[in-house]
Chains A and B, each alone.
Chain A
Amino acid sequence: MHKYSVFSLIKNAFSNHQNWEVAWKDPTPKSEYDVVIIGGGGHGLATAYYLAKEHNIRNVAIIEKGWIGGGNVGRNTTIIRSNFMYDANARFNEFGMDLWRNLSQELNFNVMFSPRGIINLAHSDAQMNAYARRGNSMRLNGIDAKLLDRDEVKKLIPMADFSDEVRFPIFGGLMQPSAGTARHDAVAWGYARQADDMGVDIIQHCEVTGFDVVNGKIKGIRTSRGDIKAKKVGLCVAGSTNILAEKLNMTLPIETHVLQACVSEPVKPLLDGVVTFGAGHFYISQSDKGEMVMGGDLDGYNSYAQRGNLPTIQHVLTGGLALFPFLSRLKMLRTWGGIMDMSMDGSPIIDKTHIEGLYLNCGWCYGGFKSTPVSGWTFAHTIAQDQVHELNSELRLNRFSTGHLLDEKGLGTKTWIG
Chain B
Amino acid sequence: MLYIKCPYCGLRAQKEFSYGGDATVKRPNINEEVSSEDWDNFVYMRKSPRGKHIELWQHIAGCRQWIKVQRDTATHEIFQTAKVTEEIR
Q: Which residues from chain A sit less than 8 Å from chain B, CB to CB?
A: 242-243, 246, 251-256, 300-305, 309-311, 344, 400-401, 413-414, 416
Among A242, A252, A302, find the residue whose CB has the most chain B CB atoms closer than 10 A. A302
B31-60: which have CB < 8 Å to A? 36-37, 40-41, 43-50, 53, 55
CB distance from A351 to the nearest CB of B (A): 15
Task: Please give 15 more A-B residue pairs, beta carbons under 8 A apart, in addition to A255-B22, A301-B55, A302-B53.
Answer: A242-B49, A254-B48, A255-B46, A256-B50, A300-B19, A301-B19, A302-B22, A303-B73, A304-B50, A305-B74, A309-B1, A311-B14, A344-B43, A400-B40, A401-B36
Q: Which residues from chain B sit less than 8 Å from chain A, CB to CB?
A: 1-2, 14-15, 18-19, 21-22, 36-37, 40-41, 43-50, 53, 55, 71, 73-76
Q: Collect the chain B residues with CB atoms within 8 Å of residue A255's CB.
A: 21-22, 46, 48
Q: Is the CB of A400 within 8 A of B14?
A: no
**How many A-B residue contacts, CB cutoff 8 Å?**
69
Q: Collect the chain A residues with CB atoms within 8 Å of residue B1's CB.
A: 309-311
Q: Collect the chain A residues with CB atoms within 8 Å of residue B74's CB.
A: 303-305
Q: Is the CB of A256 within 8 A of B45?
A: no
**B contact face: mostly helix, strand, loop, or mixed:** mixed
Can you list 16 A-B pairs, Cβ within 8 angstroms, ordered by A? Answer: A242-B50, A246-B49, A251-B41, A254-B46, A256-B48, A256-B50, A256-B73, A302-B55, A303-B73, A303-B74, A303-B76, A309-B2, A310-B1, A311-B15, A413-B43, A416-B21
CB distance from B68 to the nearest CB of A (A): 13
Among A301, A310, A416, find the residue whose CB has the most chain B CB atoms closer than 10 A. A301
Closest 5 CB pairs of A and B: A253-B44, A242-B48, A401-B40, A251-B45, A400-B44
Smallest Cβ-Cβ distance to B51: which chain A residue = A304
Smallest Cβ-Cβ distance to A309: which chain B residue = B1
Q: Collect the chain B residues with CB atoms within 8 Å of residue A304's CB.
A: 50, 73-74
CB distance from A400 to the nearest CB of B (A): 4
Q: Collect the chain B residues with CB atoms within 8 Å of residue A253's CB.
A: 44-46
Q: Collect the chain B residues with CB atoms within 8 Å of residue A300's CB.
A: 18-19
Q: Collect the chain B residues with CB atoms within 8 Å of residue A310's CB.
A: 1
Smallest Cβ-Cβ distance to B14: which chain A residue = A311
Smallest Cβ-Cβ distance to B15: which chain A residue = A311
Q: Collect the chain A residues with CB atoms within 8 Å of residue B43's CB.
A: 344, 400, 413
Known A253-B44, A400-B40: A243·B55 in contact at CB below 8 Å: no
Q: Is the CB of A242 within 8 A of B47?
A: yes
Cα distance A305–B15 in the bound complex, in angstroms = 19
**B73 interface neighbour in A251, A302, A311, Cβ under 8 Å:** A302
Q: Collect the chain A residues with CB atoms within 8 Å of residue B19's CB.
A: 300-301, 416
Q: Collect the chain B residues with CB atoms within 8 Å of residue A305's CB.
A: 73-76
Q: Collect the chain A residues with CB atoms within 8 Å of residue B21's CB.
A: 255, 302, 414, 416
Q: Collect the chain B residues with CB atoms within 8 Å of residue A256's CB.
A: 48, 50, 73
Q: Is the CB of B48 within 8 A of A302?
A: yes
CB distance from B77 to the nearest CB of A (A): 11
Q: Collect the chain A residues with CB atoms within 8 Å of residue B50's CB.
A: 242-243, 256, 304
CB distance from B84 to the nearest CB of A (A): 17
Q: Collect the chain B residues with CB atoms within 8 Å of residue A254's CB.
A: 46, 48
Cα distance A263–B5 in the bound complex, in angstroms = 33
Cα distance A386–B52 in the bound complex, in angstroms = 37
Cα distance A89–B65 in the bound complex, in angstroms = 39
Known A309-B1, A311-B15: A246·B44 in contact at CB below 8 Å: no
Smallest Cβ-Cβ distance to A257: which chain B residue = B48
CB distance from B80 to the nearest CB of A (A): 16
Q: Collect the chain B residues with CB atoms within 8 Å of residue A311's CB.
A: 1, 14-15
Smallest Cβ-Cβ distance to B37: which chain A residue = A401
CB distance from A82 to the nearest CB of B (A): 26
Cα distance A243–B47 in the bound complex, in angstroms = 9
Q: Is the CB of B44 within 8 A of A413?
A: yes
Cα distance A344–B53 in the bound complex, in angstroms = 19
Q: Collect the chain A residues with CB atoms within 8 Å of residue B55's CB.
A: 301-302
CB distance from A416 to the nearest CB of B (A): 8
Q: Collect the chain B residues with CB atoms within 8 Å of residue A301's CB.
A: 19, 55, 71
